Structure 1
Amino acid sequence: MRNWHHKVIKLDRARDLLLSKYINKYGYSNVYIGVIEGQIEFQATNSSNPLTINDYTPAHGSFSDISGNRKVFTRSSVISTDPKYNKQFTQNISTLSPSMHTTCVTGIISGNEDSSTLIDGISPNIRVINSNNFEDGLFLALINPFSNNNILSPFFASAKDNDFINGGASNTSDSYSNNFTSVINCSFNIPLTSTKVDFILKELFAYGRNGRGTLVVVSAGNGDDSTGRGLEISETVTDSGYRTTAFSNKSLIVAASKVILDSNDLPSYINNPVFDESKADYSNYGKRVDLCAPSGPDSNPSKDDINIYSPTMLNCGNIGTDKQSFFTKINQVVSNTKLILENVKGIFKGQSIELGDSNSYFHELRYINKVDKITGTNNVEVTLDTPIKFTKDFNKNGVQFSLVGTNARIVALKKNATKHTGSNYQLTLKDLRGINLRTGSQKVYIYPKNSELTGIDTEITTIVDENTYRIEVRDNLSALPNDPINNPLILVPDQIKASIKCINYYKNTKPTSPYYSVTSVNDIAGFFVGQEVLLSGGTNRIAFITKIDGTTITMSHSPSPIDDKLTMTSLAYGDFTSRFTGTSAATPIVSGLAGLILSANNDLNAAEIKHILKETTDKITGASNYSLVNNDTKYNYSYTTNDRFGTGRINAEAAVQLAIDWHTSTTVQKPKMEIADRLNGLILESVLETEPVDSPDIWIKSLADNTTQEPSPTQLFNNPNTSVDQKIYIKVRNSGNKASFKECDLRVYIAFTDDENPAFPFPSKWYDQADVKLLAVKEIPIIQGGSSTTIGIEWKDIASKWNMWNNLDTATTKRKNAYLLAHIAPFDGNSNEVRNTNIRFNKQLSCKPIIVSHNSVTDGSAFLPGKKLDLTVGAQSVQKKFHLLMENVLTTNLSSFKIRARTTKNNSNKTVEEVFYEKTGNTWSLQPSPTDNWIAFDQPIETPGNHPEYTNIKFPHTINVDNTKLEVKLEIVNI
């Protein structure tokens, strides 16, 4: 059965829910999913290079919508000679380098249902943005301008990497450039350091989808290819099961379950199929696994009917469209390996044959291992590579099925051919795929498209011109029509073969994709990347070509000993495959379902999508095999889990229903995260646009102050001193009825502005930049529903940065107003609760104005921050004038203000003389008078501070000392 996994996860029922509520059961085209492991198969529409957005299209028909418009497209990072634009984002493609793996993943997520193959993706209406690597996830979510600045901030210094520095999005006139991904699929192990992955995931959750977050869905992995056994996922780099995403709670890690459809008596046609489901042996496992999805029983795709069916690269699969297939009636079942087929020609060894009803469990695929023509008829006897299981004869419990009289579907490589003018023996082909004359000739069947049985069996004897794809055949073609428009000729070639030798399998002591070699490039003429092949010479196995580089070939799923000699033979040539498997196939099933969840409710954030997927799983193997994680430091806190399956296997129907109910049902359990803009007693109130935001949930104290008491609600301002380390406190509230999710972060910034009642729109004022500085990103601990927690953030060494961050206006002796900003990521709530134009309309953004005291000294050319000031005047006895500036001092504190000035011997702290400059009444004076007038103060100059209660005060003074003997130290006291 082609879409068996749809039945297992109850996809049809989920689609019915969407259809009944939204008149659209396949998802919405405004939802985008990123596939970032390599390039899907694109093809040029002309000869331009590089290919621009209008010069290429997805090669597979399943990747364009019903109107023929692309729904799968690329975003690429290109190298520039200018380092500033080293990863400039573009829609152009410099080279076409398709990946069969990536193409299959894309097809599982969003491939259209093909009218003849009946294979479709989980969410066919959803669009896919394709890129080459995980770092480009920041491009796909269109958050790269913010990420550039944040990665350069001191907070993320350990993760800094020049690969993140880029020029931002280009081709802004192209509508696709402004569409962001809601989900990113990673069917591979991300080859980055944990610090880089941590940075990317945090950025995606904070800025993706305008603050609702982009969810990254990651495969658990297929274990150790050398043994075929899964590994326990580890956070330790030296372990073989290490996965860079394992340490982060923001990724959703997908394991694979093994589904056995033939373990019982034949399953019936009903919507609830009978099957056994357990852990796939190859699937990695462990406490970090979030959930699982169905896949094949073996990471080596060698079984039939139990792997995932998907679109693949053109001519690289064992299922074809109607145009690629021969249809023939089964005349007789000779044995479980031999069938007689009626009225068919063009049948060769290696072609795949599809038997039974493709939309039921009476269905299987085989390869033709031998073809014998039956004399005097157009019938053939075919021998299959393995015995049939389900479809030979069945009669049980009132269900009957027999192959005799049913149609078989055989995939053939049908190549358009045009007679060459001036010769009845020569043809021109579109390309030479599947053509290889290394052994001297190649059998072919040539027929007019409108008459499959009136063709000629012949052989290709010569490739006349490789550049124009002109060939010559043994037999005269004059009997065939020459009507390329209405009745073109079709050429079907026999199998091609090559002798190969394994030259490398283990790399750096770890198994990797095996490499094979051939003597000459001519040996592998006709083979191509993505192609399905049979490797024989020992144990026969099916593999896929992943790369051809001269005389070297890379294969997937084909481990061999070094120097092993094999025969590689072409198989089938369809555009679809039944052989995609592993956690690579399970992961896009989950990503596609996440897209359907967003189609049901686009107001969900990334943490909520992840929770809905996990909360609604089916407990395969029985609920008794799952246990509750009640330690809130663990990744799967509050879920019942199993190390093999996470919370269980996804249930599309239940997930879509919960998504529909999330913001409308009063019974749904969900957190609701908030930071107060204003409190009226215990009630959180909104603030009008014309009113200031002064959050009671944000305050600041000296780091040395160990008291935990919150400030009085009537306290207008926090007044930190830059010369003292501080601690910022943020109260985070959960007003929902469920404990918060571990995926939530708190981001804290300091911002500077002269705006009155600033709006601080998101995201333009919520990343590190000239007037906004990122101070911290901290995971919010689990907060039970109806309660809150206070998070403390140390803020050190402020004075050394203050003058760079918030420049002093020397004319007014004032700086910009300072605000502490607090951001809960990702946003939750409906669209009215998380508007981005003004913090007053977003319950997860708030701010606190702070009045900052800062002391500095200038001689007209430099500021010296800090409370204690060591001044060097110069050699000999020299006079020099300075200004000591104190900013934002409470006016009432000036009555007790003092400046201590003292001279000390050079290179020691031994005091020679000490004096104080202080205010008595309204008069400033030095007490006592200094000997030799080594210091003198002019009248202080007072100007308004950043608030009416605060004053800026400047103290002009002159110092006259012999610097070779004495040092001068000034210290502010009683402030």
Structure 2
Amino acid sequence: MRNWHHKIIKLDQARQLLSNSNRLGSSDLYIGVIEGQIEFRPVNNPSPLTINYKPAHPSFSDISNSRKVFFRDKEGNQFTQNISSFSPSMHTNCVTGIISGNEDVNNLIDGISPNIRVINSNNFENGLFLALINPFSNGNIKSAFFQSAFDNSFLNNGASDVNNLYSSQSASIINCSFNIQLTSSKVDFILKELFAYGRDGRGTLVVVSAGNGDSSTGSGLEINDTAGSSGFRTTVYSNKSLIVAASKVLLDSYPLSSYTGTKPVFDERKANYSNYGKRIDLCAPSGPDSTPSKDDINIYSTTMLNCGNVGTDDQLFFPRINAVSSSTKLILENVRGIFKGQSIELGTRNSYFHELRYIARVDKISGTNNIEVTLDAAIKFTKDFNKDGVQFTLVGTTARIVALKKVATKHIESNGQPSNYQLNLKNLNGINLKAGAPQKVYIYPENSELSGIETEIISIANPDNNRIEVRNNLSTLPNDPNIPLILVPDQIKASLTCIKAGAPSSQPDQSPYYLAPTVNDLTGFFVGQEVLLSGGGKERIAFISQITGRGIEMSHSPSIIGDTFTMTSLAYGDFTSRFTGTSAATPIVSGLAGLVLSANNDLNAAEIKHILKETTDKITGVSHYSMVNNDTKYNYGYTTNDDYGTGRVNAEAAIQLAIDWHTSTTIQKPKMEIADRLNGLVLESVLETEPVDSPDIWIKSLADNTLQEPSPTQLFNNPNTSVDQKIYIKVRNSGNRASFKECDLRVYIAFTDDENPAFPFPSKWYDQADVKLLAVKEIPIIQGGSSTIVGIEWKDIASKWNTWNNLDIATTKRKNAYLLAHIAPFDGNSNEVRNTNIRFNKQLSCRPIIVSHNSITDGSAFLPGKKLDLTVGTQTIQRDFYLLMENVLTTNLSNFRIRARTTRNNSNKTVEEVFFERTGNTWALAPLATNNWITFAQPIETPGNHPEYTNIKFPHTINVDNTTLEVKLEIVNI
């Protein structure tokens, strides 16, 4: 049955809940497919505002006169939508079709969300480009916080291609049906950045396949975060991704009549190959075998053109079934052009009386256009059925046989006449004479299938223009170029030897590699093509990944080095019934996530993930699931098991919950925030003209380890750069459910002269010249109606302060400093999450801090934390300096004291010290203090960054010669 997975996840019911405009998904949304190119065709001479390709498959055709699928890649220091090299991937075409293949009422094969568009790219690092957050991420990765984990080459700034109409489109969901081949630290960074900046702060959700386990045994592996282990997955480190396992459906468990109702009952179990473990979030239906056998129910999807076993009407012959000789033999009426290897589809496409086979033998019935075909395996569900009031028989129904129908034209000879022996083709796909052996073909005029000629190709007359020569005279076929000729070739074969085994599933990009005897042996085979590999005691259907000379790479194929195989072409349709594995389950979830956003675009990435998990159906029953109560573990608060996560996705329930999320008063959901202003115990909003001074942000000395919240009279926002500090952020959950584990707290320090700064998002919420990222920290689980305090250590401040916040020499003032706190991702409706001003966003807030900073300068250079290295001789020299103390609390000046000490360069290293202090309003050396090595001028006081604070400049002169080892000034009572 085609689209059976739609029924089991209740997709039709979900579509009925959506408005007519969003029934198939919103055309304003984009999903990223990030594992390689789909099949594109070049566009010649594109205009400056278009791109140089279009999707090859009709299921990816443009919608509403605008592009449905386009490519984005990093090129130098910017991204581009143009393609420099066309190298399509069969796997990527299948994944894209499951997500967003066009609705197809004729072929009954369409995506989960056909109206949603796709941005296609070829590696996970480009996820930042798909979401259009790469400029922010580029700043963060160069920050002090992240720099220890990365090299500067990891990410370029990637300005957009301003000449392209599609540069402003960004992915809301990203699908990864592969194991990401980056270090865990890089994957974790990308996922955190996507959650913080994607969708204007609501976050971009990444949906990742759990993987297909050990390909040699067909058994799943327990995924883990232990590098080097067989079950290692980089995404396990992060709770930001949504990891999808696969289930399987067994038809034999129930009589076929049970599937004919509106609510069929399925025997659904874990797919043997599917990886499992405590990090699995949920599952979706897929095939029973990662390398499917003939009777499996697998996922139907798009392929590269002519690479599948299901065809569109123009690729098919439609013979009537005259008789069923046995479970493997059928008599077909009035049909020609049938060869071995073609696929045959039997029964009713939209029911379980339906299956596909390959034709293993063709026998003509003398004196007729009828044939007997032998199938490669017995038919199981469609031969005869009469039970429980349900009846079905194949006799009298129409079969659907996929053929490679190649358009051919008669070659024009030098005399201007059409040749009766030579034909021109568009390409040589499917044509191979195998070292001179002729290839059978059937050639007929279009729309006249029974009036053709059976003949053989005896040579490729000119491979440069795809000209072939046939054995029989074609004079009975029309010469009119307006009546195209159709050529259907027989199977092609090649001998292969395996020279490289495939990699384990942890490195799925490395497929088995084979060699043919010569380059010519592979003529006619092409990338994406479906083939049968026989030999080495194995027989398996595979897909060609790459052809280079006489070498060929294939996925899902036998791979014992030294084994020999025969590779035979199969079918030539534009769709496949054979896509499977967690690779197929994952795009089902991604497409559904797109529908969830179509229902409610105000949802954030964590909420989408929660909605999908909360609404799953419990495969095998609730009793097989247990609650995760440890709030440090993945899946906290959900009932799960290791095979299915929370269960199999339910589209109907997920869409209903998404619709109700912001309108229902009974839904359990968190509501995260940081107060901008507190009036008693009541959080107040702040007008645009009023300052934000969050009571939920404060800072104290790191040595003070008491977790004490500040009272309005306590000054907890006056750090001294010479002392390590600790920043405290109080995060509130005013909702009625525990917070999601995916939430992060991001803390910055920003510098500005603006009065009541707005700090718009994201322009002031990533590491840059006047904003510095201090920390990214996972927020602990916060119960509804509660709060928690997150502490962040801030060390070695003085060494960075002058670089971050330069001193204005004339005013002895720096820019005002603010601590910024950001809860990622944002939650709430559009009125609660506005990005122009922090006052309109409950998950952004700030606190001004009055920073005390000491520095010594000679008027041209700041030397905080450094010695004054003076090279001197026996002659005494004088040097003028000043010590600057910024933002001293005015009330502390009454007993302000500076200690100056010198160490003599003698055998005893004699230390001499004097004190310069304030008594009342008078500055002077301490009584009785005498010295000949330092003098102080009258200090200069100027206003600090706050009315209660003062900046003090202490000019002084040092007299030194070679008897001086060191001079040191310290403020001893601040």
TM-score, reference length from structure 2: 0.97
> Is the contact made by 1:612 and 1:658 (CA closer than 8 Å) also made in structure 2?
yes
Deviation at 1:357, TM superposition (A): 0.4
Say which of 82, 96, 104 aligns to 2:94.
104
Whether the 8 Å CA contact 1:261–1:274 is kept in 2: the answer is: no
CA 1:482–1:293 in structure 2 vs 1: closer, same or farther (change >3 Å)? Answer: same
Q: Aligned AA for 1:530?
A: G
CA displacement at 1:379 relative to structure 2: 0.7
Hey, what does 2:593 align to over in structure 1? 594
Distance 1:510 1:126, change over 3 A: closer
State the secondary structure of the residue aligned to 1:794. strand
1:71-93 C-alpha deviation (Å, 9 max, x unpaired): 01100122x4xxxx2xx311111
Cα displacement (A) at 1:913: 2.2
Is 1:482 matched up with 2:472?
no
1:256·1:582 contact (CA, 8 Å) conserved in 2? yes
1:141-152 matches, cutoff 5 A: 141-152=131-142
Q: Which residue of 2 aligns with 1:272?
A: 263
Deviation string for 1:417-442 (max 9, x for gaps)? 11112311111111110000124211
d(CA) in 2 for partners of 1:408 and 1:541? 25
Deviation of 1:164 (Å): 3.0
Deviations 1:95-131 (A, max 9, x none): 1000000110000000012343110000000000000
2:188 to 177, 195, 198: 198
Match of 2:11 in 1: 11
In structure 1, C-alpha distance between the alignment counterparts of 2:501 and 2:794, rounded to whole Å:
52
1:472 aligned onto 2:462: no
**1:337 and 2:311 matched:** no
- The yes-or-no answer on 1:393 pairing with 2:384 is yes
Answer with 358-367 or 302-311: which moved more: 302-311
The question of 1:491 aligning with 2:482 is answered: no
- Identify unmatched segments of 5+ residues in structure 2: none
Counterpart mapping for 1:371-450 below 5 A: 371-421=362-412, 422=417, 423-438=419-434, 439-450=436-447
Q: Which amino acid aligns with 1:63?
A: F
Whether contact under 8 Å (2:142, 2:152) holds in the other structure is no
Q: Is the 8 A contact 2:826 2:833 kept in 1?
A: yes
Residue 171 of structure 1: CA displacement?
Answer: 1.7
Q: 1:47 to 1:949 in 2, by over 3 A?
A: closer
Are the equivalent residues in 2 in contact too, given 1:678–1:687 (CA < 8 A)? yes
8 Å contact from structure 1 (residues 142, 169) kept in 2: no
Contact 1:871 1:969 (8 Å CA) reproduced = no
Q: Kindly state the Cα deviation for residue 709 of structure 1 after the two structures are TM-superposed.
A: 1.4
Q: Is the 8 A contact 1:873 1:880 kept in 2?
A: no
- Residue matched to 1:297: 288
Instruction: State the aligned residue count.
Output: 963
Give 2:748's aligned residue. Answer: 749
RMSD: 1.8
1:935 is matched with: 934
Q: Distance in 1 between matches of 2:45 and 2:902?
A: 81
- In structure 2, C-alpha distance between the alignment counterparts of 1:782 and 1:908, rounded to whole Å: 62
Structure 2 contact 50–165 (Cα < 8 Å) conserved = no
Say which of 149, 160, 165 aligns to 2:150.
160
Q: How far apart, in 2, do the equivalents of 1:909 and 1:363 lie?
A: 101
- State the Cα distance separating 1:766 from its structure 2 match: 0.2
Whole-angstrom distance in 2 between the partners of 1:507 and 1:642: 29
Match of residue 500, structure 2, among 501, 504, 509: 504
Give, in whole Å, the separation in 2 of the partners of 1:829 and 1:164.
Answer: 34
SS at match of 2:369: coil
CA distance in 1, matches of 2:284, 2:521: 41
Q: Is the CA contact 1:324–1:574 (under 8 Å) kept in the aligned structure 2? A: yes
Asked if residue 176 in structure 1 is aligned to residue 166 in structure 2, the reply is yes
User: Structure 1 residues 448-457 or 751-760, which shifts more?
Assistant: 448-457
Q: CA offset at residue 869 of structure 1?
A: 6.5
More deviation, 558-567/713-722: 713-722
Matched position secondary structure for 1:419: strand
User: For residues 14-71 of structure 1, what are the alpha-carbon distances to aligned partners after superposition, in whole Å with 9 as ceiling and x for unaligned?
Assistant: 011114xx543100011110011111110112288x9994321000000024556430
Task: Work out whether residues 546 and 553 of structure 2, in 8 Å CA contact, stay in contact via their aligned partners in 1.
Answer: yes
Asked if 1:248 is matched to 2:238, the reply is yes
Distance 1:908 1:402 in 2: 112
How far apart are 1:911 and its partner, in Å? 5.0
Residue of structure 2 in register with 1:728 after alignment = 727
State the shift of 1:915 in Å: 1.2
TM-score scaled by length of structure 1: 0.97
Q: Deviations over 1:496-542 (max 9, x none)?
A: 00000111115599885211111111001000011000111233211
Per the TM alignment, residue 483 of structure 1 is displaced from its structure 2 partner at its CA by 2.7
Most deviating of 256-265 and 522-531: 256-265
Deviation readout 1:110-154 (Å, 9 max, x if unpaired): 001234311000000000000010000000010100111111111
Match of 1:186 in 2: 176
Q: Which moved more, 1:956-965 or 1:798-807?
A: 956-965
Question: Are 1:108 and 1:588, in contact at CA under 8 Å, matched by a contact in 2?
Answer: yes
Identify unmatched segments of 5+ residues in structure 1: none
Spell out, residue by residue over 1:280-310, the C-alpha distance to the aligned partner (whole angstroms, 9 max, x if none): 1100000000000000000002234501000
Q: Which residue of 2 aligns with 1:542?
A: 541
Q: CA deviation at 1:875?
A: 3.4
Cα contact 1:904–1:913 (8 A) shared by 2 = yes
- Determine if contact 1:675/1:733 at 8 Å carries over to the other structure: yes
**Cα distance in 2 between the residues matched to 1:482 and 1:665:** 70
- State whether residues 49 and 165 of structure 2, in contact with CA within 8 Å, keep that contact through their aligned partners in structure 1: no
| CA positional deviation for 1:376 | 1.1
Q: Give the counterpart letter for 1:881 in structure 2.
A: D
* CA–CA distance in structure 1, aligned partners of residues 774 and 128 of structure 2: 21
Distance (whole Å) between structure 2 residues aligned to residue 473 and residue 154 of structure 1? 71
Cα gap change, 1:719/1:871 in structure 2, threshold over 3 Å: closer, same or farther? farther
Q: Look up the equivalent residue of 2:755 and give its one-letter code.
A: E
Q: Secondary structure at the match of 1:298?
A: coil
* One of 225, 231, 236 as aligned partner of 2:221: 231
Cα separation, partners in 2 of 1:343 and 1:908, compared to 1, 3 Å: farther
Counterpart code for 2:7: K
Shift of 1:161: 3.1
Report the CA distance between 1:927 and its aligned residue. 1.7
State the distance in 1 between where 2:106 and 2:503 align: 43
**Residue in 2 aligned with 1:642?**
641
Give 1:714 deviation, angstroms: 4.4
**Residue identity opposite 2:394 in structure 1:** L
Mean Cα deviation higher: 170-179 or 202-211: 170-179
Deviations 1:803-855 (A, max 9, x none): 00000000111000000000000000001101000000000000000000001
Aligned letter for 1:160?
Answer: F
The whole-number CA distance in structure 2 between the counterparts of 1:259 and 1:894 is 79
Alpha-carbon deviation of 1:468?
1.0
Q: Does the residue aligned with 2:167 lie in a helix, a strand or coil?
A: helix
Report the 3-state secondary structure (helix = DSSP H, G, I; strand = E; otherwise coil) of the residue aligned with 1:818.
Answer: strand
What code does the residue aligned with 2:421 have? Y
CA separation in 2, counterparts of 1:635 and 1:244?
Answer: 15
Per the TM alignment, residue 488 of structure 1 is displaced from its structure 2 partner at its CA by 1.1
| Residues 753-793 of structure 1, C-alpha deviations (whole Å, 9 max, x = no match) | 00000000000000000000000000000000000000000
Please say if 1:925 is aligned against 2:924.
Answer: yes
Moved more, 35-44 or 303-312: 303-312
Aligned residue identity for 1:516? Y
CA distance in 2, matches of 1:69, 1:969: 71
SS in 2 for 1:516: strand
- Aligned runs of 1:681-700 on 2, under 5 Å? 681-700=680-699
Q: Tell me the secondary structure at the aligned position of residue 395 of structure 1.
A: strand
Matched, 1:451 2:442: no
Q: Deviation string for 1:634-683 (max 9, x for gaps)?
A: 01100000001000000000001000000001111000000000012211
Native 8 Å contact 1:502 1:563 kept in 2: yes
Q: Distance in 1 between matches of 2:253 and 2:455?
A: 45
